[in-house]
Chain A
């Protein structure tokens, strides 16, 4: 190539000056926002003396990226009563109809009502799966009661009471006893593009945790705690009841939340703190603010230790990390930060930068039930008091939940219907990150009530099958198709399908297309659907577009079907090639009987498709002279035979030798060898088992 001509200097000098001035512009603190007007249009009162406006964040907010629709904005005041374990709140929802159709009602999620009584859909479904039970004590139940709903009038008009027009609905299962979805009729339809303000007052009983949110001791983790408007789409309300096996779905907006808790308690929440006010009644009100998120969670406890560090990586915006740590885990802070850094670095490099500039990591209290969960700019990890560093479970949970900031937080899929679109993509991404950042990672088991860990250094956790959850997938491979809306999965199928199966087919895709192609596809999907609500077809379309190949056949198998993959070597034989019978030689028919007298071997390999799902595979045949033949099989027919005549005997045959197809439910039958080491392996493991049994017998002999 020719050397390009010299470039003029002046434009570069101007650009350099602009670049030097830009950081100074970015670091100027944003002007404080005004509090939203109270009902009746009155301005907010001046703050009392014990108000501590907080300094601007140590890390300047990065340059704004493309924003969300911000069509569901909340201004919330809530008070936690730790004696009654209750919340009392008032919110003003500023909601804009971003669809093409008008609506005459609003729908709200009241998630806490899943734990109101055993008639809720959530608890009924939980009993079907055998995993959920009722509360142990009356005080352990939870609920949410809306006490007032008003349409705030514009220009000082009196508010309109919407209470008479509200009713509970159960569009999914018709359960009239389920109270998790509230429909509120409006006096008139809200037109496309129109904005309304709705004021809601409610009380909630914080449960002893059934799932994700609740309390233990003085530790509170509050998620799905406020009446949350559902998502209106062009086709109508996409509003599901709260199901045992699903998570959540809501629109993006701005959250301005003031939480009142006992003075001295440490509080963490979505967003950044804006103000702290000490009240006369020995409480403190913390104000948090965040733009472009679709949920708001918070936690409060007098016991948290606070640690803060900063994530920095070339090419990625810095992120301040705030860790709320249990005192008994004080020695594990570095593990949380290391895992969060790994997630921000690898996800940011592979898919796109994390834009918020801050993240809160919560180390949940033991038995809180709040561990391992994601919320915008805040997530919960999870570790144990005794947690050997050779077992990277705490790191794995942290990477996964931090990773959800990308898949779920920024790319806001519908978790009711397409849970795999965040859980599966994130499980795949977590496995990749763990292999890069925390290898080796060993399996550990726990004994004596689950308290005492033991590391199995002979069991390294592999990315392909361990991190992706292959064993879990096998158990539920055919329970449902991924295309089934997640809330309709067979109970217990969510883990095997949304998490493991998806991660495995993504990893298969990585091996089939190559990581650079898949990474480009995922980065493109992330970039296009950040702050939006994608559907599965959107992901498939991006993969097809970026790869330049029509992968519909693949998605038909892994997404639209519940069929499983199972390829096997059915037969392998390699015998001296003998010719017997009558053959034409020199124009005459002569009998030949050359059994045993040959220097050539006839090898017969039969590969078979046991499963109903189809995937093109390679077949590798290894010969005694070291030669390896590789055949391509489209995998469609039920079986295929390969016959060779060569000077060397075959040693082994293997279908999919490179393990491209990670969804194969049986890897053992993928190969056969004529020199099996089966007896050696069986002898070894029987010997090990013999020692263990003798120890068990001796332990039992304590009784005599």
Chain B
């Protein structure tokens, strides 16, 4: 706990001191989702036409219209189903991950683009949190550019790792092992707890892979590593040496995630019309803001933990801006050192 809580709080602070990043990723998420939403709006409008059913759909839920729409939906329209309402949508999305159910092709494409954008932005985000000082827009995006291709190379390893997990590992656990064990079980409750245990196993593997790649990215940025494989190995080494703090910090962040979900579960909007639509949109965006802040806190707190546990984190004063040296260079060289020369922002 000596390092976990301080790292967590420091991480929150680093996120709070860089509000532009949080606002930026919120805007990014909204802008990526907006074009498909416009398409869906058109599909819904075409389906409703000038019918009185539009009034019912505007005020509440018109189940007959929805059944007609669903029976003829293709592409993006297939994803327009009752699950999207309220907290059921969150459960559906989480269930899709754990049950490896996937999305329709259109959403998979949008999500892939979204992940690519995150991969691009992560370099600047981690650089900003690691330096723990304003880096300005130009420096931010320069860092994004510097680390994008390194993260892409890291992403190749990630694709393989997650591919193995969502492929053969998931299939073995849930399509072979689980049905084989439970085939003759007459008690549902027992099967549920077995499935829960398998979710914990699978989830644990996902988390383990995720943590490794988190610290690989952090080490790549903080130490200006160019080798993706080197960063990966270094990440494993760091985790192996500090398993307790790493796991503890991840668990603390995870607990906050569950809290956010629970709060949204209580406040999630429904399907009422009128001004409730905008209130619901506001509540949902606040929830998404909280999740994004938490995601950034994951990175910021993990960066803080890494820096806290390594020697070159032991500096007490912010060095003068000496970009583009790495944060490690900043930390090792004294602020007044002539070796810290460079372009001043």
Residues of A within 8 A of B (CB): 136, 208, 216-219, 301, 303, 326-328, 365-368, 384-386, 443, 445, 447-449, 451-452, 454, 456-459, 462, 465-466, 470-471, 474-475, 572, 652, 654, 666-674, 676-704
Residue contact A678 to B49, C-beta cutoff 8 Å: yes
Q: Indicate if the CB atoms of A465 and B63 lie closer than 8 Å.
A: yes
* Contact present for B82 and A216 (CB under 8 Å): no
Say yes or no: A458 contacts B29, CB within 8 Å.
no
- Return the contact of A688 from the options B67, B97, B271 (Cβ within 8 A): B271
17 additional contacts (CB under 8 A) given A456-B82, A688-B271? A365-B187, A367-B188, A447-B94, A454-B88, A462-B63, A667-B65, A672-B50, A676-B49, A676-B50, A678-B45, A685-B44, A687-B277, A689-B84, A690-B34, A692-B92, A698-B292, A703-B115
Contact (Cβ within 8 A) A671 B51: yes
Given contacts A677-B58, A697-B111, contact A691 B288 (CB under 8 A): yes
Interchain residue pairs with CB less than 8 A apart (15):
A218-B186, A327-B187, A365-B186, A448-B91, A667-B64, A671-B52, A674-B50, A676-B54, A677-B58, A682-B44, A685-B41, A691-B284, A694-B29, A695-B93, A697-B114
The 9 closest A-B pairs by CB, nearest first: A686-B41, A365-B186, A691-B284, A447-B95, A366-B188, A692-B84, A217-B186, A681-B58, A692-B89
CB of B272, distance to nearest CB on chain A (Å): 8
Bound-state Cα–Cα, A702 to B53, Å: 39
Fill in one digit per residue for B261-282: 1 if any A CB lies within 8 Å of its CB, else 0: 0000000011101000100110
Interface core residue of A301, A326, A683, A694 (most chain B CB under 10 Å): A694
Interface: B230 (CB within 8 A) = no
Within 8 A of A (CB), among B139-184: 155, 158, 162, 174, 182-184
With a cutoff of 8 Å between Cβ atoms, the chain A residues found around residue B82 in the complex are 443, 445, 456, 459
Q: Is B90 an interface residue (CB 8 A)?
A: yes
Q: How far is B184's CA from A219's CA once the two chains are assembled, in angstroms?
A: 10
- B103: chain A residues at CB < 8 Å are 696
| Residue contact B107 to A366, C-beta cutoff 8 Å | no
Given A678-B45, A699-B93: A448 in contact with B58 (beta carbons within 8 A): no
With A672-B51, A688-B85, A702-B210 in contact, is A693–B288 under 8 Å at CB?
A: no
Q: Kindly supply a per-residue 1/0 record for chain B positions 229-273, scoring 1 wherever the CB is within 8 Å of any chain A CB and 0 otherwise.
A: 000000000000000000000000000000000000000011101
Q: How far is the CB of B342 from chain A (nearest CB, A)?
A: 30
- Asked whether A448 and B40 contact (CB < 8 A) given A667-B68, A669-B51, the answer is no
User: Which of A452, A684, A685, A697 sits near B29, CB closer than 8 Å?
Assistant: A697
Measured between beta carbons, the chain B residues less than 8 angstroms from A690 are 30, 33-34, 37, 281
- Provide the bound-state CA to CA distance between A679 and B30, in Å: 21
Fill in one digit per residue for B171-212: 1 if any A CB lies within 8 Å of its CB, else 0: 000100000001111111101100100010000001000100
Which residues of B have CB within 8 Å of A219?
Answer: 186
> Is A458 in contact with B188, judged by CB distance below 8 angstroms?
no
Q: How far is the CB of B100 from chain A (nearest CB, A)?
A: 11
Distance, CA A505 to CA B77, complexed state (A): 30
B323 interface residue per 8 A CB criterion: no
A673 surroundings in chain B (CB, below 8 A): 50-52, 54-55
Shortest beta-carbon distance, B118 to chain A, in Å?
Answer: 5
A694 touches B30 (CB 8 A): yes
A451 with B187: in contact, given A474-B71, A684-B273, A696-B103 (CB under 8 Å)?
no
- Which of A462, A669, A691 interacts with B49 by CB under 8 Å? A669
Measured CB to CB, the residues of B under 8 A from A are 29-30, 32-34, 36-38, 40-42, 44-45, 47-55, 57-58, 60-61, 63-65, 67-68, 71, 79-80, 82-99, 103, 107, 110-111, 114-115, 118-119, 122, 155, 158, 162, 174, 182-189, 191-192, 195, 199, 206, 210, 269-271, 273, 277, 280-281, 284-285, 287-288, 291-292, 295
Chain A minimum-CB-distance residue to B57: A681
Question: Nearest residue in A to B69 (C-beta to C-beta)?
Answer: A668
Chain B residues whose CB sits within 8 angstroms of the CB of A327 once the complex forms = 187
Q: A696, B107: Cβ atoms under 8 Å?
A: yes
Residues of B within 8 A of A676 (CB): 48-51, 54
Least CB separation from A670: chain B residue: B51
Q: Which residue of A lies closest to B151 (CB)?
A: A704
Pick the contact of A367 from B61, B93, B122, B185 — CB < 8 Å? Answer: B185
Q: Is the CB of B273 within 8 A of A448?
A: no
Task: Report the separation of the CA atoms of residues A284 and B187 in the bound assembly, to the nearest whole angstrom.
Answer: 25
Chain B residues with Cβ under 8 A from A667's Cβ? Answer: 53, 64-65, 68
Residues of A within 8 A of B45 (CB): 678-679, 681-682
CA distance A698 to B93 in the complex (A): 10
- A652: chain B residues at CB < 8 Å are 52
Please report the C-alpha to C-alpha distance between residue A474 and residue B186 in the assembled complex, in whole angstroms: 35
Q: How far is the CA of A688 from the CA of B80 in the complex (A)?
A: 10
Per the bound structure, the CA–CA distance linking A456 and B110 in Å amounts to: 27
B158 touches A695 (CB 8 A): no
Q: Are B33 and A694 neighbours in the complex by a CB distance under 8 Å?
A: yes
In the complex, the chain B residue whose C-beta lies closest to that of A384 is B188
Asked if residues B162 and A703 are in contact (CB atoms below 8 Å), the reply is yes
Distance of A354 Cα from B191 Cα, bound (Å): 38
Contact A704 B115 (CB under 8 A): yes
Q: Cβ of A303 and Cβ of B186 under 8 Å apart?
A: yes
Q: Tell me the minimal C-beta distance from B128 to chain A in angstroms.
A: 17
**Complex: chain A residue closest to B155, CB-CB:** A704
> When the two chains form the complex, which single residue of A458, A689, A703 contacts B270, counting CB atoms closer than 8 Å?
A458
A residues in contact with B188, CB < 8 Å: 328, 366-367, 384-385, 451
CB within 8 Å for A683 and B41 given contacts A217-B184, A385-B189: yes
User: In the bound complex, do residue A696 and residue B68 qualify as a contact, i.e. CB atoms below 8 Å apart?
Assistant: no
Are the CB atoms of A454 and B51 closer together than 8 Å?
no
Q: Which residue from chain B places its CB closest to the CB of A696 in the assembled complex?
A: B93
If the complex has contacts A671-B52, A692-B89, are A687 and B63 also in contact, measured as CB distance less than 8 A? no
Asked if residues A693 and B36 are in contact (CB atoms below 8 Å), the reply is: yes
- Report chain B residues within 8 Å CB of A470: 64, 67
Known: A654-B52, A694-B33. A458 touches B64 (CB 8 A): no
Which residue from chain B places its CB closest to the CB of A572 in the assembled complex? Answer: B50
Q: Give complex CA distance A692, B83 in Å.
A: 9
Query: A395 vs B89: C-alpha distance in the bound complex, in angstroms?
Result: 26
- Nearest opposing residue in chain A for B61, CB measure: A458
Q: Give Cα A668 to B89, complex, Å.
A: 26
Which of these, B30, B88, B186, B195, contacts A366 with CB under 8 Å? B186
Chain A contacts of B115 at CB under 8 A?
Answer: 700-701, 703-704
A254 to B299, CA, bound (A): 75
In the bound assembly, the distance between CA atoms of A474 and B65 in angstroms comes to 12
Return chain A residues, CB-CB under 8 Å to B54.
673, 676-678, 680-682
